[in-house]
Chains A and B, each alone.
Chain A
Amino acid sequence: MTAASIDARARAIAEAVPDPELPQLTVADLGILRAVTVTGRHAVVTITPTYTGCPALEVIRSELRRRLADAGFDDVEVRTSLSPAWTSDWITEEGRQKLGAAGIVPPHAAPVRSAGPVPLTLMRSAPTEPCPRCASPDTARQSVFGATACRALYRCTSCGEPFEYLKEI
């Protein structure tokens, strides 16, 4: 195989690793896979956490090492990158479609930081999100935080179905 095709093969394997907390999506869909390079037998994969405390990161590292080792890359290094910080804008179009299919409303564009101190957002009303099941606009936010820091809990007041919303950051 040519160097380019070996690179592409390693990248394809890394891209297919699922996120343990959102297994419908891969690390590529979420934008947390930042780079894959292969030099000889040495594969270097760079990932970035969605949130600093994200416990999924170590699971993703193990899974990257395992899958690449199974494919013959026996010298795999997984690097962490903290900067630039992950933003929900890095979720791919395919990732957004998969979120929607899983009943999770995908994030809007992340807020743009202006100059000066970080502004307070007092009394901001909860963003209104249409129900992913029945498309009703009559939904209510139940909790700013869900099973993970990146998700909020909503409930549709028309069909009664609860759903999640992946917050922009």
Chain B
Amino acid sequence: MDTYDAYQAITDVTEDQRWAFGAGFDDPLSGIDTTIPDGVSADDLAAYCEMLGDDALLMSHRLQQWVGHAPELEEEAALANIALDLLGQARFLLARAGTVDGSGRTEDDYAFLRGPAQFRHVRLVEIVDNDFGLAMARLLVFSTWRLAVLDRLRVSRDPVLAAIADKGVKEMTYHRDYAAQWVIRLGDGTEFSHQRVQAGLDHVAPFVGELFTDSDVETRLAAAGVGVRPSETHAEFDAALDAVLSAATLGCPAWSASGGATRTAGHRDTLTRLLAELQSVARAHPGATW
């Protein structure tokens, strides 16, 4: 094999510059058939890709914030890897949104140039997690829910969503296992660790109802065989959480009831602060490369 330098390889092709922020590559869907299935509203499909993409993007960001702060180096490696998987899912989904709605917006445009009012995530992913017990409780809830949604999305009539989901299911499976094993270790650990992770579960409980509230977009796309109504995943979620929490000797909190607005009522202060960090370089130096 000849001598090989990955950094050389990416810089000596003239059209690729090094990037200052973001992916720097704006065509992750290269060569993938991106036609829209018959009978599907482009606006709905774009909105749906944004929803799923924003959940992954912001959850990834919260996990990335643990790098440098996790209790052990091994957990930092784990959290960074999980964050990277979710960032990958976000890239494909946001790039898909930009091709579907005809705007031509790139994944970086979505991540770095939208304001707080334009994000469509569930509030669960934006809350601050400055406690490891809370971080594991949130990751368990998030990955259990998203795994159930993506598993159903594998048979979507939209081939891009189906492909992203097929790949994502494998990843969400080990994300959930990782979080579940920590929740059990902490819950069935010392009195102190038990209290911490129980407090984490109680903290995320008010954000769980929104996960299973069907939005109009999800309902319409589910009827068209393209999307998933998240309410359909509630029983599977409950069964998985019951199994983990009983092994962890933890009490299952009263999840907030479904109903009400979904994906519209972000906590503006929390999200604004999150985006201020996520977008600061991109906004200070638009389009920067070096």
A-side residues, CB < 8 A to B, are: 16, 18, 20, 23, 44, 46, 49, 51-56, 58-59, 61-63, 65-66, 77-86, 117-118, 120-124, 142-149, 153, 169
Contacts A/B (CB < 8 Å), 18 sampled: A18-B1, A44-B31, A52-B168, A53-B85, A53-B86, A53-B88, A55-B84, A62-B9, A66-B13, A82-B164, A83-B159, A84-B166, A85-B167, A117-B151, A118-B173, A120-B177, A145-B82, A153-B74
Which residues of B sit under 8 angstroms from A61, Cβ to Cβ?
A: 30
Main secondary structure of the interface of B (DSSP, over half): helix
B-side residues, CB < 8 A to A, are: 1, 4, 6, 9-10, 12-13, 16, 23-25, 28-32, 74, 77-78, 80-82, 84-89, 91-92, 147-148, 151, 159-160, 162-164, 166-171, 173-174, 176-178, 180-181, 184, 236, 239-240, 243-244, 247
A51 touching B85 by the CB < 8 A rule?
yes
- With most chain A CB atoms within 10 A of its CB, the pick from B9, B92, B168 is B9
A145 touching B77 by the CB < 8 A rule?
yes
The answer, among B4, B25, B31, B162, for a CB contact under 8 Å with A58, is B25
How far, in whole Å, are A118 and B145 apart by their CA atoms in the complex?
12
A83 touching B6 by the CB < 8 A rule?
no
Number of A-B contacts (CB under 8 A): 137
Which residues of A sit under 8 angstroms from B178, Cβ to Cβ?
A: 144
The answer, among B4, B12, B78, B239, for a CB contact under 8 Å with A23, is B4
The answer, among B13, B23, B31, for a CB contact under 8 Å with A62, is B13
How far, in whole Å, are A83 and B171 apart by their CA atoms in the complex?
14
The answer, among B12, B236, B243, for a CB contact under 8 Å with A122, is B243
Which residues of A sit under 8 angstroms from B163, Cβ to Cβ?
A: 82-83, 85
A78 touching B31 by the CB < 8 A rule?
yes
Chain A's nearest CB lies how many Å from the CB of B178?
6
